Amino acid sequence: MIWDGLPPAGPALTPAMRLLLIEDDPMVGRAVEEGLRRAGFAVDWVADGIGGDAALADHDYDLAVLDLGLPGRDGLTVLQRLRQRGQSLPVLVVTARDALPDRLAGFEAGADDYLLKPFDLEELVVRVRALLRRAAGNPQTVLAAGDLTLDAARKQVMLAGQPVELSAREFAVLEALMQRPGAVLSRKELEDSIYGWGEEVASNAVEVHLHHLRRKIGSQRIRNVRGVGYRISDEVA
């Protein structure tokens, strides 16, 4: 794989951006997991087909990155079982199987996109974002709330035409809120959008990110709905 050109730290696209990576190669899995997290996604990584199938059945994800050559249960079977359960989340297949019949079998089983190994991580991130936008019915990469804009593709936030520097976590929280204007997201939903399995989450982590966000974009732009959660507002502080 070529890791040059990795997008800078900062998140991706769509509301609770939680991905499942199903990849048995430890070197590839670690690199892809880290790269996707640096791009702003919450990532859970499973190294075999049986575990991947169980994770997909038991948890809610926005997208799966699926290898086909898996131990325990091959990726094609995992994909078929996913669709048989009626789950419609996007699936990006990554595999070294480059024969046309293999690719056609993947699409027939329900794959949404196909990426051959070795691949560039930047292309993987771009394809993931495109699939998430398509699934959300939201093809644009720029979100807006009043004079606040967030460009997911460029990982850039602008306030009244001026750039705002955010950490990766702050960006992820803001994007989750801006993807659902008017909706109230609970602390748990925000945590799920930025943290994956195995990541320690302090009890006040989301509140800390929100505090820093409010200092940077205005205290009234993120409203606290007492006892429920948080929502984005068009109002200027």
Give the CA radius of gyration of the chain.
Answer: 18
Tokens of 55: 């994770």
Alpha carbon separation from 213 to 38, 174, 185 (Å, rounded): 19, 8, 16
Task: Quote the mean pLDDT of the chain.
Answer: 83
Q: What is the mean pLDDT of residues 230-236?
A: 80
Residue 143, phi-psi category: left (phi > 0), alpha (psi -120 to 50), beta (remainder): beta
Tokens of 186: 């609970």
Judged against a pLDDT cut of 60, whether residue 165 lies above it is answered with yes
Q: What is the mean pLDDT of residues 60-80?
A: 94
The 10s digit of each residue's pLDDT in 95-121 is 888 777 877 888 888 899 988 888 888
Judged against a pLDDT cut of 50, whether residue 161 lies above it is answered with yes
pLDDT at 236: 59
The 10s digit of each residue's pLDDT in 31-67 is 999 999 888 888 999 999 999 999 999 998 999 999 9
Q: Which domains does the chain have, with CATH numbers?
A: 18-136 (3.40.50.2300), 142-232 (1.10.10.10)
| Whole-number Å distance between alpha carbons of 175 and 38 | 15
pTM: 0.59
- Name the residue type at position 203: S
pLDDT at 237: 47
Tokens of 200: 């320690």
Judged against a pLDDT cut of 50, whether residue 14 lies above it is answered with no
- C-alpha dihedral, 92 to 5 to 165 to 45, nearest 10°: 40
Judged against a pLDDT cut of 50, whether residue 11 lies above it is answered with no
Judged against a pLDDT cut of 70, whether residue 15 lies above it is answered with no
Q: Is the peptide bond before 118 cis (omega within 30 degrees of 0)?
A: yes
Please give the share of the chain, as a percent, with pLDDT higher than 90. 36
Angle 10-14-15 from CA coordinates, rounded to 5°:
100
Q: Do residues 93 and 66 touch, judged by C-beta distance below 8 A?
A: yes
Judged against a pLDDT cut of 50, whether residue 16 lies above it is answered with no
Q: Do residues 28 and 72 touch, judged by C-beta distance below 8 A?
A: no
Judged against a pLDDT cut of 90, whether residue 206 lies above it is answered with no
pLDDT at 101: 82
pLDDT at 72: 94
Dihedral sign for Cα 202, 199, 138, 151, please: positive
pLDDT at 197: 61
* Confidence tier at 29 by pLDDT (50, 70, 90): very high
pLDDT at 137: 66
Judged against a pLDDT cut of 60, whether residue 140 lies above it is answered with no
